[in-house]
Structures are given as C-alpha cells and as structure tokens.
Amino acid sequence: MDARIAFQGELGAYSHQACVETRPDFDPLPCATFEEALEAVRSGAAELGMIAVENSTYGRVQDVYHLLPKAGLHIVAETFVRVHVNLLGVKGAQLSDITGAHGHPVILPQCGKFLRNNGIKGISNTDNARAAREVADAGDKTQAALASKLAADIYGLDVIASEIEDHKLNTTRFLIMSREADHSRRADKMVTAFMFRLRNIPAALFKALGGFATNGINMTKLESYMVDGVFTATQFYADIEGHPDDENVKLALDELGYFTEMVEILGVYPADPRRS
C-alpha cells in the first residue's frame, strides 16, 4: 500500500490541494473532521497529516490549536497555499445563470464583493469540495460552488469565474504532522513549536517570555488555553524562529523552565520560504 496523507475535507478541498502541491508522492486520505485526520495518522492509517491552522484573511482555525497539544503527534513541516476561490458551475452554465453559490462559512466572506456585485446569494456548506460535488450531482445551472480548480477537475464542473477572492494574497498555512519526531536541522531557518504550562505565580507569563526577548528570539505565535476548565491553570502553544540546539534558544528555554510546570516540544521544522 502506498503512503497516505490525511486531510480534513473531501477530495478537491484546499487541504487536498496542499497535499498535491507539497506531498505529490502520497495518496490523499480525506477525513470528515480534523480529529479524524489526526487519528488517521496516530493509528497508522496514514503516515502524515495535512492540517490547516490559519488563513491570512480569516485568521486562525481555532479548533485545531485546541487539538494540537493533545494529538500525540509531531510537526515535521509547514506549507503555505494560495487560496484562489473559483465559481464552479455545471457544464454550460453562464455567470448570468447563477443565483446561489455554495461554500464553507469561512470562504463566503472571502469573496463577498464578487457575490454582491453579481447578485449571487452565498449559501453555507460544511465543505467547499462537498459543495462542488453536490452542485455537480444536482445539475442545476442556477447553483454554483466556491472551490478550487482541483475540485472542478474532480467533479466535472466548469470554472465560470476564477480567482474571485477579495484579497489577492489570500493564503492558508498548513502544518504537516507525523507520528515520528524529526528535530534535525534541515535548513538554515528553522521553527520550533512547543507548549508550556505556567506556574501559578504573579507575572508568570511576563517572566517566562522574558528569556526570548533578552536572547533575541522572534516568537511568531502564542495561543492560550484553559486546562480542564480551571481559570488558574493556563497552557500556551508557541512558535519561535530557531532550533533547540541554538545557544540563544537553549538559554531561553532554560529560563522558561523556571516559571513553568511543563514544557513540551511539538515540532522542529524548516521555515517555509513563503512564511516571510
């Protein structure tokens, strides 16, 4: 059996596009939810997982940041995918025919200007690729899907209008997850992802993060969580630029340890060139 990469969504989803662009030698494994995609990797049904974490227009994928700390997996890479939103219709449909466009609630506002200008009603769907499949199955020339050109190819739809997103730099960041950790230095610019739980002492967060500032380390992501519904127990997810073997990163992590109950590295991976 060929190696597989799990993703959330149906075939033709933007996560599927990320798999095709980044790991073309892996067979895609569609999963209904992020939990199922992570479980597919954890169980061995897939070797890797392609997990969307944030979009430049919409912001973070909040559910994922809650799942990552308890997934039991390791981040081994990141990738950025330009999200081009396309209006897909059944064969022969014209823009003037379309009265409704189906897409995920996240994607609808990303092309709101186009929809308003063309008198098209946005209709919510749980998945963009599913919307494309359902439009194809229904065969109604008045209904369209907001999805990728990959979805158009898979479901036999016409691209009625291409790249209709309001923001032309619309990009989604994905993390590639694995059962096996890889902390080797594979590039000059590396990213270290970790989570930590603060001790319940005054100014703990200020003190814990001070070592990164004094050692000249750029922290690019910081997310907070309550632990077990207790307000006094706070856990954080963080991304920093650098490798754990770098002297300044070692010093910062050592200082972090003084003010935390737990520090756990979730991944060490090359910074994607598109990050900047």
Cβ neighbours, 10 Å, residue 106: 17
* 174: annotated active-site residue: yes
Cβ neighbours, 10 Å, residue 121: 12
- List 7, 34, 114, 174, catalytic entry: 174
Q: 27 near 47, Cβ under 8 Å?
A: no
Residue 113 phi, psi (nearest 5): -65, -45
- List 172, 192, 236, 259, catalytic entry: 172
Q: Vertex 62, ends 197 and 107: CA angle to 5°?
A: 165
Q: Which of 240, 228, 89, 87 is nearest to 164 (CA)?
A: 87
- For residue 141, what are its two tokens? 């020339």
Cβ neighbours, 10 Å, residue 174: 27
Measured CA to CA, the distance from residue 102 to residue 181 in angstroms comes to 39
Q: How buried is 218 (Cβ within 10 angstroms: 0-12 exposed, 13-18 middle, 19+ buried)?
A: exposed
* 142: annotated active-site residue: no
Instruction: Give the catalytic positions in this structure.
Output: 172, 174
